[in-house]
């Protein structure tokens, strides 16, 4: 069977992943290292709590905003608002010299970025069909990984070379401007070419009704066995995924691994993740989304154990970065597409708001556990090891999910 050509809407939807991934990559590599230069003492605990605050704010906002965004013509308006706020905050990150002020601005940029991605995820049901969701979702992550490398390499060159004798802060200011511009430019195709085809009718007193509808949506999610088991499994396993993404550079930095080595290793992750995410999408369509998610959870369990007990030098960090690249895009892409197939299309944003809540509350739990365990024991290794149980619970709950509704049918 010939491979079906992508539509303009599908290509434009994928383009947004290219745009927002530039800030995601910078936030998981260069920004924690730069923050460490502003902070006094070890940065892992402060960075963990900042990520926790950002995740909590997102989780509190999304059920309300998601319900309103499901109304006719609202999804893209929310994307404009969140991207605009995020772009301004990203540029502003280059100006503070105080660690606390920097963290406040970072939280604003992180909240804007991640809320925009919830509205973007919900547009997947408008951009493509159920049969093509695994492939299109995987293509989004794949091109996001490789596309984000272009501005990232430019930022890296400025930060490492510092042309014309510029200082570190000026170099970072330039890097933040490059990242913000890239994000804004690749948002344009999404706004122009993806139409919101699934929606609820516009309602008066939408905000009040959104508050009132939260309980009804939760009851609906719980009543559907497939969504119930999936969302519980997702709550636990995505916790470990997000925690590793957010804290790996800070953890490596506290171990004394050179910052340049950390950043270059994470760049390799992007190149490995590009073909891996595409292959993962094809395997999900062939063998079933559920089976490939179980493979991803098992892979991340190994990654966590390796980081806790064997990560000591740059060589091991490079190995870890490659392993993350093999599984990261696949597990995220198939989680997104599987939920998109399960949820009602005209309530996609509302459901994806709860999907994001379970992911963000899990991220709160993971980063809080690592930060607290590290602070109490003085050992980052024990903090990392503590999240293994979350992958185990996620694996078990995914096994309990009704099989007939998890094989891409």
State how far the Cα of 229 lies from the Cα of 234, in Å rounded to an integer.
8
What is the DSSP code string of 102-171?
Answer: HHHHHHHHHHHHHHHHHHHHHTHHHHS-GGGHHHHHHHHHHHHHHHHHHHHHHHHHHHHH-GGG--HHHH
88 part of a folded domain:
yes
Summarize the confidence of residues 25-45 as an average pLDDT: 78
State how far the Cα of 208 lies from the Cα of 220, in Å rounded to an integer.
19
State how far the Cα of 120 lies from the Cα of 13, in Å rounded to an integer.
8
Q: What percent of the chain lies above the pLDDT cut of 70?
A: 88
207 part of a folded domain:
no
- The pTM for the full model equals 0.74
**pLDDT (0 to 100) of residue 295:** 94
Higher pLDDT, 124 or 177: 177
- Quick one: pLDDT band at residue 85, thresholds 50, 70, 90? very high
**Domains held by the chain: number:** 1
What CATH number should be reported for the domain holding residue 120?
Answer: 1.20.1250.20
State how far the Cα of 356 lies from the Cα of 372, in Å rounded to an integer.
24
pLDDT 10s digits, 225-240:
889 999 999 988 988 8
Angle at 48 between CA 83 and CA 117, to 5 degrees: 25
Q: What is the mean pLDDT of the chain?
A: 82
State how far the Cα of 387 lies from the Cα of 251, in Å rounded to an integer.
14
Higher pLDDT, 95 or 358: 95
159 part of a folded domain:
yes
113 part of a folded domain:
yes
Is the distance from CB of 124 to CB of 340 less than 8 angstroms? yes
104 part of a folded domain:
yes
* Domain extent at residue 91: 9-195+224-405
Nearest Cα to Cα of residue 159 among 171, 174, 149: 171
214 part of a folded domain:
no
41 Ramachandran zone, left/alpha/beta (phi>0; psi -120 to 50): left
**pLDDT (0 to 100) of residue 129:** 85
Burial degree of 361 (CB within 10 A; 0-12, 13-18, 19+):
middle
Q: Given a cut of 70, is residue 360 above it in pLDDT?
A: no
Length of the chain: 409
pLDDT 10s digits, 146-173:
888 899 889 989 988 888 889 888 999 9
178 part of a folded domain:
yes
Token digits of residue 27: 């936030």
259 part of a folded domain:
yes
């Amino acid at each position: 069977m010939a491979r079906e050509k992508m539509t303009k809407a599908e290509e434009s939807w994928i383009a947004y992943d290219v745009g927002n991934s530039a800030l995601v990559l910078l936030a998981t590599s260069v920004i924690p290292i730069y923050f460490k230069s502003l902070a006094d003492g070890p940065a892992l605990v402060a960075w963990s709590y900042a990520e926790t605050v950002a995740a909590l704010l997102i989780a509190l906002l999304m059920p309300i905003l998601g319900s309103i965004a499901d109304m006719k013509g609202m999804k893209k308006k929310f994307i404009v608002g969140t991207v605009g706020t995020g772009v301004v905050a990203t540029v502003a990150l280059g100006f503070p010299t105080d660690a606390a002020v920097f963290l406040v601005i970072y939280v604003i940029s992180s909240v804007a970025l991640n809320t925009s991605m919830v509205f973007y995820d919900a547009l997947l049901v408008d951009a493509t069909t159920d049969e093509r969701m695994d492939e299109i979702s995987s293509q989004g992550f794949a091109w996001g990984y490789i596309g984000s490398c272009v501005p990232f390499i430019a930022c890296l060159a400025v930060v490492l070379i510092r042309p014309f004798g510029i200082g570190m802060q000026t170099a970072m200011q330039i890097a933040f401007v490059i990242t913000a511009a890239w994000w804004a430019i690749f948002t344009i195709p999404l706004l122009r070419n993806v139409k919101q085809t699934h929606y609820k009718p516009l309602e008066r007193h939408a905000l009040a009704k959104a508050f009132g509808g939260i309980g009804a949506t939760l009851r609906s999610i719980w009543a559907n066995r497939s969504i119930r088991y999936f969302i519980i499994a997702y709550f636990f396993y995505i916790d470990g995924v997000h925690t590793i993404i957010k804290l790996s550079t800070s953890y490596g930095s506290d171990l004394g691994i050179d910052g340049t080595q950390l950043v270059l290793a994470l760049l390799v992750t992007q190149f490995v993740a590009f073909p891996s995410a595409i292959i993962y999408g094809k395997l999900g369509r062939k063998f079933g989304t559920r089976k490939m998610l179980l493979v991803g959870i098992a892979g991340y369990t190994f990654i966590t154990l390796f980081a806790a007990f064997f990560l000591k030098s740059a060589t091991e960090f490079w190995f870890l970065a490659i392993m993350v690249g093999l599984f990261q895009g696949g597990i995220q892409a198939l989680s997104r597409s599987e939920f998109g197939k399960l949820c009602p299309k005209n309530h996609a944003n509302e459901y994806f708001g709860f999907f994001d809540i379970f992911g963000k509350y899990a991220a709160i739990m993971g980063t809080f556990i690592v930060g607290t365990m590290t602070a109490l024991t003085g050992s980052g290794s024990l903090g990392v090891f503590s999240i293994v149980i979350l992958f185990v619970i996620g694996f078990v709950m995914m096994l309990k999910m009704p099989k007939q509704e998890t094989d891409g049918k």
